[in-house]
Amino acid sequence: MPPRCPGPSHLPLAPFLYPALFRPRYASSSLLRTALSRQARHSSSSSSLNDLPESRLNPAPDDYAAPSFADKAELTLYAGRGGNGCISFHREAYYPDGPPNGGDGGLGGNVYIQAAHGETSLHKLARRRFIRAGRGIHGQGSGKSGMRGSDVVITVPVGTIVQEIERHDPAAEEDMAIRAFQAQKKQRRRELLAQQQLQAEVEEEEEPQETDRHSRWKNPEDDYDPDADDPERGKWLLYPGMSKTDVKTAEFPKLPKRTRLFQQPPPPIYLDLSKPTPTPILLAAGGIGGLGNPHFTSRQHPKPMFATKGDEAVTLKISLELKLLADVGLVGLPNAGKSTLLRALTNSRTRVGNWAFTTLQPNIGTVVLDKYSGRPSVKAAQTTTDDGAIGGPRTRFTVADIPGLVEGAHLDRGLGIAFLRHVERAGLLAFVIDLSAGNAVKALQSLWREVGLYAEMRQDEERSREIESRVDWDLVSQASRGPINLMGASYGTSLPPMQEAQTRKAAPALEIAGKPWFVVATKADLPETQENFKELKTYLDNVTEGREQHPSGVEGAWTKRCAAIPVSAIKGKGVDRIIHWTVGLLDE
Ligand SMILES: Nc1nc2c(ncn2[C@@H]2O[C@H](COP(=O)(O)OP(=O)(O)OP(=O)(O)O)[C@@H](O)[C@H]2O)c(=O)[nH]1
Ligand SMILES: [Mg+2]
């Protein structure tokens, strides 16, 4: 669907922004005013660029909401352990010796993760550091089973990448120990049998001799009870009233095989939550509850004095990294007026100041497209939800304001590289260019150069990560088959991780250069900016028509409708056109 805003060739020079262009007779007086205002600007100690009255769009440097933003967090997740089974017997008047009636232990709580719209930062999680699910309640007498531990759902912003750092799974370790012990036991039994056979053969051959006095001594190994250090014994819970010898000699039935209701995802967990997840994704599964004593009633054990313990639960250390998923990413040099533009577009209260690097952390604002909020009512096309269903018309879009880029930002100069990844995922890019700060075309080209170089660098990084994930570091473990993508598993639509990486490799640096973009030529209220804007507009028309290369120099990059929209963010003028243009591009 074509944007509702006229194309770049039709974008008129706004008369409200360029009075001088439309009324040339005032040119000289406007020049005079510029000189005066510049003088005033340099002489004044105020951070404001102008002599305009203070307002929401021209705030004092200290008028801002303290940003609380974090794009990284490390969390330790504790799933809940299972409750123990109960050992109890029915007691009633005139019925002294009732049957066993201990309840089962409850299942431990799970820890899930869910990506949801509306969340924009990881700062709350970064502060929490530990997340615990509830433990299963122990079983009780009279057949009362314990309650399930409460689950915890971690809600993260869409665009979060989850990576496992470390895990401790006592239940899995115990299972392994039991299996190893049983294999050892089998081997020992086989050896003993072979030894006995050999001894019998030797005794048959040799004549019976008078038994040696020492041979009557007991071999100390005969006393060795192999079952004493059976790890399975640790799984049993005994009646507290039993004596020590009873405990030592207690014989247990075979442990019943139990399958987990919630399977712990195999390591290493790697999730790219680039879509909202309709259902939470399991990260750490709670332990299974123990069984009460009625489960073990048999002919040998009519009154079982034992029950099983609940399973210990998984502890998982994960790292979260957020790549903001705003619809529009504002890219510009420092002090270009990005934050002022965000204030003009949204209700955001980001910091504005007349110096470079006022913004130190990304800010996200939401543009609400309804007529009740004072915003323009833009008739947007029907949106499709993430599962492909047709949703209602677009009611909002988000804008990300990131710290300014300087030359060499991709090499981590300035504040650049840490924030460029937020642009990487924006649906479209808006290049904010200060018309009063030198040649706009050159500024646009240098911004695109930085973004392009960053894209190339990311691509190399991705490739080396993919190669690394092909190496099977742990040849013993079946599970270590490189990062698993649970999103793929739950949706069944995305490709397997390896194939996905290959398709990503097939698309070259177009990942960013292929995005739709436009230029916001800001500070157009300042005089002497008309020529600069005209030059920029001619350049962009040439790019659209193919006479000029895409400013990043990437072949096949998006050049469908390169537009420059003149605005004065500080006066809130021309801002509605950005909203219309953006909605048009987003709905395409
Ligand atoms: N005259 C005029 N001044 C503007 C306009 N937009 C922003 N400014 C001024 O330009 C200065 C810088 O604005 P910011 O919004 O902080 O710029 P920024 O791009 O966010 O800067 P960094 O966060 O440092 O990258 C402030 O003094 C604003 O008042 C505009 O449209 N017209
Ligand atoms: Mg800023």
- Which tens digit of pLDDT belongs to each residue from 494-520? 333 333 433 334 344 567 888 899 999
Same domain? 332 vs 419: yes
Closest CA to ligand 1's atom 14: 337
Residue 481 lies in a domain: no
Same domain? 411 vs 513: yes
Burial (CB count <10 Å: 0-12, 13-18, 19+), residue 65 = exposed
Same domain? 338 vs 444: yes
Top-confidence residue, 579 or 385 = 579
Same domain? 23 vs 160: no
* CA 569–ligand 1 middle distance (angstroms): 8
pLDDT of residue 95: 86
Q: 277 in the Ramachandran plot: left (φ > 0), alpha (ψ -120 to 50) or beta?
A: beta
Q: Using CA atoms, how far apart are residues 172 and 333, in angstroms rounded to an integer?
A: 53
Strand 315-322 versus strand 306-308 pairing type: unpaired
Strand 382-384 versus strand 306-308 pairing type: unpaired
| Least confident span in 188-192, 403-407, 475-479 | 475-479
pLDDT of residue 15: 52
Residue 293 lies in a domain: yes
The pLDDT of 133-153, averaged and rounded, is 94
Same domain? 90 vs 134: yes
Residue 258 vs residues 103, 171, 181, 290: alpha-carbon distances, Å: 17, 12, 19, 10
pLDDT of residue 22: 43
| Least confident span in 1-5, 116-120, 492-496 | 492-496
Same domain? 32 vs 82: no
Which of 300, 322, 344 finishes a domain? 322
Q: Using CA atoms, how far apart are residues 259 and 266, in angstroms rounded to an integer?
A: 15
Query: Mapping DSSP to helix (H, G, I), strand (E, B) and coil, where does residue 515 land?
Result: coil
Top-confidence residue, 17 or 457 = 457
Q: Give the closest ligand to the alpha carbon of residue 522.
A: 1
Q: Above 50 in pLDDT, residue 30? A: no
| Neighbouring C-alpha atoms within 13 Å toward the C-beta of 182 | 9
* CA 339–ligand 1 middle distance (angstroms): 7
Residue 213 lies in a domain: no
For residue 437, how many other CB atoms are within 10 A of its CB?
Answer: 18
Same domain? 545 vs 407: yes
pLDDT of residue 285: 92
Same domain? 379 vs 421: yes
Top-confidence residue, 394 or 567 = 567
Q: Are the C-beta atoms of 157 and 324 separated by less than 8 Å?
A: yes
Q: Give the closest ligand to the alpha carbon of residue 415.
A: 1
Same domain? 289 vs 415: no
Same domain? 151 vs 94: yes
Q: Above 70 in pLDDT, residue 549? A: yes
Residue 224 pLDDT class (50, 70, 90 cuts): low
pLDDT of residue 115: 92
The closest-lying atom of ligand 1 relative to the alpha carbon of residue 335 is 21
Q: Using CA atoms, how far apart are residues 239 and 38, in angstroms rounded to an integer?
A: 88
Total-model pTM: 0.64
The pLDDT of 364-386, averaged and rounded, is 63
Residue 584 lies in a domain: no
The CATH code of the domain that includes 357 is: 3.40.50.300
Residue 222 lies in a domain: no
Ligand 1 binding pocket mutation candidate from 335, 342, 525 (most atoms within 8 A of CB): 335
pLDDT digits (tens, 9 = 90+) for 46-82: 444 467 888 888 888 788 877 677 888 999 999 999 9
Residue 60 lies in a domain: yes
Q: How is residue 124 written in tokens?
A: 């709350």
Closest CA to ligand 1's atom 27: 354
Closest CA to ligand 1's atom 16: 352
Whether the predicted interface score ipTM is above 0.95: yes
Residue 474 lies in a domain: no
Q: Which residues line ligand 1 (CB under 6 A)?
A: 48-50, 58, 332, 334-340, 352-354, 356-359, 403-404, 522-523, 525-526, 568-570
Strand 72-78 versus strand 130-132 pairing type: parallel
Beta bridge partners of 315: 78, 168
The closest-lying atom of ligand 1 relative to the alpha carbon of residue 342 is 15
In this structure, the dihedral spanned by the alpha carbons of residues 222, 227, 228 and 234, taken in order and rounded to 10 degrees, is: 180
The beta-strand segments (E) located in 126-222 are 130-132, 152-157, 160-168
Residue 205 lies in a domain: no
Whether omega before 268 lies within 30 degrees of 0, making that bond cis, reads: yes
Closest CA to ligand 1's atom 30: 523
pLDDT of residue 412: 67
The CATH code of the domain that includes 96 is: 2.70.210.12
Which residues have their alpha-adjacent CB atom under 5 A from ion ligand 2?
339, 358-359
pLDDT of residue 10: 46
> Which domain, by its residues, includes 52?
19-39+47-69+323-469+489-570
The beta-strand segments (E) located in 79-223 are 111-116, 130-132, 152-157, 160-168
Tally of domains in the chain:
2
pLDDT digits (tens, 9 = 90+) for 344-367: 998 888 888 888 888 888 888 888
* CA 117–ligand 2 middle distance (angstroms): 24
Q: How is residue 466 written in tokens?
A: 């993919």
